[in-house]
Structure 1
Amino acid sequence: MSLNKIIAAGGFVCLAIYLFVTAPPPLPSQAARASDARALPVVHLFDAVNAINDAARSTYTARVVGGGLKAGLKYGEDWAEPGVEKGPLPALFLRLAAAKMEAKPPRLGLYLGSDAPIEASNLFRGAQANAFEQLRATSAPVFSKTERGDEVAMYPDIASAQPCVTCHNEHEDSPKTDWTLGDIMGATTWTYPAATLSAAEYLEVTEALYRSVEEAYQDYLDKAAGFADPVPAGPGWPDAENRILPDLPTFMAAVRAKAGDPVMRALILTTAKEMGQ
């Protein structure tokens, strides 16, 4: 089968990744041309990492927290305190993943904020507040630059799961208590120090974010395993009849499946461009 047919059949993704990883180093002139051909606008990266973030958030909120509450598990802001038998709230889970990301080489920044946050430190101010006004008015991402030239992308944080809505409406520190499904509750802001990046950098950053989500979830599994009545982890999901947590492979498989299409889309288009398609 020709390469064009492989691309048309949809099998080119695996082949492109395989060739990318295993191919010998190109000659300098070849490397320069390939680097130019693989130049991706950073917006493709922002779309991809935001898709991963959305997948992690919705999977954790609906399937882990939502199911966990039915199973009798608890979640709270003090989850990390010694002796507290709780898991992290969805926003804290994502902040934990963001902290894990900050410790990795790719210079991708992540900030979660709102105009009505439970935590006052998450209140948008200045340029972020102005960008969020625009986002709330249009429901579309807002792109800008920082004073030092970093690329910035702000995406709407939509209430997509009932446990998130219920938690915010019932929290004693919430300044807003009438959230409904589909509301824009806040925004996720990403920063990256370049306007374009190579396919290799794209893969490096997206995989680093996946690993950060993985590490954050493992922290919860470790915590739950130390409860007075340990919560077992396995290939399943919690519900009213099952006091369990999905193990790491199960959770990450769900996240990757949900985010897979948008993450790979830019890489496929860029590689096809490089091959002259």
Structure 2
Amino acid sequence: MTTILVTGATGTLGRPVTDLLRADGHEVRALSRHSQPYAVDLREGTGLDAAVQGVDAIVHCATSPRGGDEGAAGHLIEAARRAGVPHLVYISIVGVDRLPLGYYKSKRAVERMVEDSGLGWTVLRTTQFHDLALQILASSAKLPVMPLPAGVSVQPIDAAEVAGRLAELAVGRPAGFVAEMGGPQVRTMPELARAYLRATGRRRPIVPVRLAGKAYAGFRAGRHLTPERAVGKRTFEEFLDERFGGGGEGRAGGMR
């Protein structure tokens, strides 16, 4: 039986990865700060040596836009080296090497750390999850109008589909950079906003806002997209239908 450690195991991606691996009969060590018996603080590196001992692969899903990813990855890699872990799988983002955004720079730095780790490694880049698009739209809809970045399209993908690919990679051989995963459709932000408003039974004027900076210019240029790898199946509307039950005024009240 294969033993696999999953970091960020209670998160949007880590939870379904853990569930899929367990369903396939693998022993999974679900790592988070509060999960026993492997309660680990990646920022401090405490508890890692015991957690990684004897594992066949690590799937590194833990991440934070607030910073600290590089330090956490450093602690994980060092512990994996000491334990002789043969395979480290890392989830990254399409465009981290093309967009001058702080979080993207950090993800790219971790990619390099994984490449230089001396471990067997695999890196999968995907486009943004449906969950992130929903978070952005829900935040924008709290205002009387919905301000959205002008000229930006996105290619959201379902986290469960990414989880399936990660689980597959975790039980395979180290493969380096594998083919990217993009959502099934490249959509404009207003298109997604209208879908969100329909699903939640709301009405809001959509206001395009032109932003400044190199990162925004990169997003307008589509450097975060991978239309040639539109391998995702579940659309944003299907995701919303499951989340909100098909839309309507009755559900909107609970979202306000």
TM (normalized to structure 2)? 0.26
Greater Rg, structure 1 or structure 2?
A: 1
Relative contact order (alpha carbons < 8 A, sep ≥ 6): 1 or 2 greater?
Answer: 1
**More helix by percentage:** 1
